[in-house]
Copies of this chain bind each other. A is one copy, B any other.
């Protein structure tokens, strides 16, 4: 079939009639599918239930340094958990603090602390007239929600397959000292699945921000979440590169096991320079009596070490791969060459990013919903929920089965075609 743009008005009208009939037919099927969030599937969670057996009443409930994990204390985590989380991020254990069940909470708390207490002695952000963050787009809605919650102005920066547009990032941070941070998902980015190139990471480490309290929020959420054994992205070590560049304090790196053990029952960690960690611990000792060390020990006993994590993630990949491939197969077969959409082919992570023709994303998502397939809201991948081109849609294949994903993608394709035809007809 030729590209939709090349069709005549008559052809488009005929196509619309046919697609509308198909759509009405699809609506009758009573689909109920959700590909809105990066939520692990039940089968994937079932696979790891022995995790719960890693600690029982007969276990030695001490960390390797003799700490009783059932009692108070040990603000920065048990040593073996620091090592494990450090290995996931590729940083030394001494640069790691292990926290509670959500890395999102560490990020939120870090922004919150900067608002009330500043950063390593800087003016608290709540005392400033203007605080801004750079937001590579499309990006992660929960990041944007944090900065929006604190009234921080968000400035978008376009993503490329190598990472954010670094010319623009360098320029902006150098000239505006109210720019205090940038949100990054540097590996298998949310939603495109891109991994920042080594050059991009080096340029990040060598930024010359006007604001001394500028920080890179490096959310390494998918560090070990590959889809293939033979096609794996590598991410350079931002912490090491920042130190080399004389900017040791410029970055916070985050990770969690939410998509390794249990979503919401995992552990999280932050990695940073000693100065940053010391500051973090200063408020942490006031905010908590220590994080859940029992769950930290459970993780280490079950996964053992980074090799154990890697083996476990191979099993995850075996569940995830068919879902991604089901989506891509349908997209390729049904929309290849039609000129009405572009999509990414990630080697890992939890998402596929789809760009529709301009002005079509909201209508596509609405059409899908009407026929029983829930997608992430159009615009969610942009600050304030506003995609200026109304084009980007995040596809999250993790929760449904591959069969359901294929069905859902069939419907998605139908909706993309129908909405695109309607858009083209408007322009005729």
When C-beta atoms are compared, the residue in chain B nearest to A69 turns out to be: B265
Known: A71-B45, A101-B100, A258-B289. A264 touches B52 (CB 8 A): no
- Complex contact A291–B101 (CB within 8 A): yes
Interfacial chain B residues near A69, Cβ < 8 Å: 264-265
Give complex CA distance A107, B56 in Å. 31
Measured CB to CB, the closest approach of chain B to A225, in angstroms, equals 16
Give complex CA distance A294, B258 in Å. 12
Measured CB to CB, the closest approach of chain B to A254, in angstroms, equals 13
- Complex contact A52–B45 (CB within 8 A): no
Give complex CA distance A71, B61 in Å. 26
Identify the interface centre among A50, A57, A145, A146: most chain B CB within 10 Å of its CB. A57
Kindly specify which of A34-42, A189-197, A373-381 makes contact with the partner chain.
Answer: A34-42
Measured CB to CB, the closest approach of chain B to A291, in angstroms, equals 7
- Complex contact A68–B56 (CB within 8 A): no
- The contact string, 1 if C-beta is below 8 Å from chain B, for chain A 365-384, is 00000000000000000000
Instruction: Specify which of B57, B71, B108, B295 is in contact with A286 (CB 8 Å cutoff).
Output: B108
When C-beta atoms are compared, the residue in chain B nearest to A71 turns out to be: B263
Interfacial chain B residues near A290, Cβ < 8 Å: 102, 264
Chain A interface residue count, CB cutoff 8 Å, equals 55
Which residues between 25 and 59 of chain A lie within 8 Å of chain B, taking CB atoms? Answer: 37, 39-40, 42, 45, 49-53, 55-57, 59
A262 interfacial contact with B, CB 8 Å: yes
Interfacial chain B residues near A130, Cβ < 8 Å: none
Known: A39-B71, A57-B52, A108-B286. A292 touches B265 (CB 8 A): yes
- Complex contact A142–B295 (CB within 8 A): no
- Complex contact B289–A264 (CB within 8 A): yes
A115 interfacial contact with B, CB 8 Å: yes
- Complex contact B286–A149 (CB within 8 A): yes
Cβ contacts A to B, 5 pairs, < 8 Å: A50-B57, A72-B263, A102-B288, A265-B292, A292-B292
